[in-house]
Amino acid sequence: MTITAPLKSTARRRPPAPTEAASTPDISRNDAHEPIQAPGAGFRVAEFFAGIGLMAEALESRGYEIAWANDIEKAKFDLYAANRPDEGATFELRDVRTVKGAGMPDDLDLATASFPCIDLSLAGKREGLGGSQSGMFWEFARVLDEMSDEKRPRIALLENVHGFATSHGGADLRKAVQEMNRLGYSCDVFAINARHFVPQSRPRMFVVGVRGELPRDSNTDAPPLSDIRPEWVRRIYAANADLRMHTRELASLPDGPDDLGAVVETMSNDDPRWWDTTRSDKFFGSLTPLHAARLAELKNAKTLSQRTAYRRTRNGSATWEIRPDGIAGCLRTTGGGSSKQALVVAGTGQARVRWMTPLEYARLMGVGSFKTNARTDNQALFGFGDAVVVDVIQWITDQYLTGVLTESRR
């Protein structure tokens, strides 16, 4: 099924969603989502695997125009459209395997692809780029290949989990870089954990393919160690020295927040979303001695603290594990209870537990004003778990993409 829908571009910050509590502030870095004098004005984007549109959220805030977007899941499209009604771009709700290069828009500057990670993730079966999900990378490459030299965008941005680097002993990443080389792109690889911007540990790797002449400040030697190019990234360059790869020197990452205070939604003690005594006691009873001691320390503190928790299966039994720090674990697509994060609020001799809300997920992805009114909470959580963090993409755009594209037009 193909749905083409007019969607409205937003050059200004959107108003808060009706569900947002006025007494609970957005996380502070959301203020960075204001347009910064539209430095990317005129740059046109094709957004593959668009999901709920957080890639678009980041790029539009920097003045880019989403000329085309695609995804296969109707629930994600509904959230995408709810947050950018009547935009002039076209969202094609259909299987990427039916997309043809000849039908792509003209004058594209950037193509983005946050292709499925399930076959690359350490939690999956590790089928890699040969899997039915992560193998959609090849469909992205096919569409680029079908485009004429004049239409193929200057930059291609790939995003995925760190498992992309190690899948099949590094062979999958090598094949992907080889394919990008064949399409005329030199590749730059780096890694960013979203915890430098939001209180969520979300490590991701990025490949920026630059077609044609490299930017003047590019380097084709192995990169020096840095926060975005640790030793495992350096090994990628060493193992693929025969391929077309490059780096650009980028700024250091910010420190990022270290607690959930600006994320947690204000909620009264009698809100029904808090788990009742029976359910809470089951949660507390499942904790191993390590995590029970962690909870006891938090509970006995004189001030309230927030922690997130995941349900795990250990030795055939379900158990909950509480994070030792004040940030969230990596948000995941909700395929079951173990994929959802619970919130534990403890201190002054008490402890309460509930599921994290869609608004809290939105804030952890850098979009506190995002409309989260999906048909079910799980649909919203699924969409956020499968998305990019807005602040991370904005940083890449400011540090990398806009400079390269601006230089290309001089």
- The segment(s) of the chain belonging to CATH 3.40.50.150 are 4-257+387-408
- How many residues can be counted in the chain? 410
Quote the longest CA-to-CA distance of the chain.
Answer: 66
Distance, in Å, from the CA atom of 289 to the CA atom of 146, rounded to the nearest integer, reads 58
Return the SS3 of 210.
strand
Cβ atoms 99, 144 nearer than 8 A: no
pLDDT at 336: 46
CA angle at 256 for the pair 255 and 257, rounded to the nearest 5°:
130
Q: What ranges in 99-230 are assigned the alpha helix state H?
A: 137-146, 163-166, 171-182
Distance, in Å, from the CA atom of 388 to the CA atom of 203, rounded to the nearest integer, reads 11
pLDDT at 373: 84
All residue ranges of the chain with pLDDT < 70 are 1-38, 40, 86-89, 122-124, 334-338
Distance, in Å, from the CA atom of 25 to the CA atom of 199, rounded to the nearest integer, reads 14
Phi, psi angles (nearest 5°) of residue 128: 65, -150
**Element at 79 (helix H, strand E):** helix 74-82
* Cβ count within 10 A of residue 349: 9
pLDDT at 337: 46
213 burial via Cβ count (<10 Å: 0-12, 13-18, 19+): exposed
pLDDT at 338: 54
Q: What CATH fold (topology level) applies to the domain 4-257+387-408?
A: Rossmann fold (3.40.50)
Render pLDDT for 210-250 as a digit per residue (tens, 0 to 9).
999 999 999 999 999 999 999 999 999 999 999 999 999 99
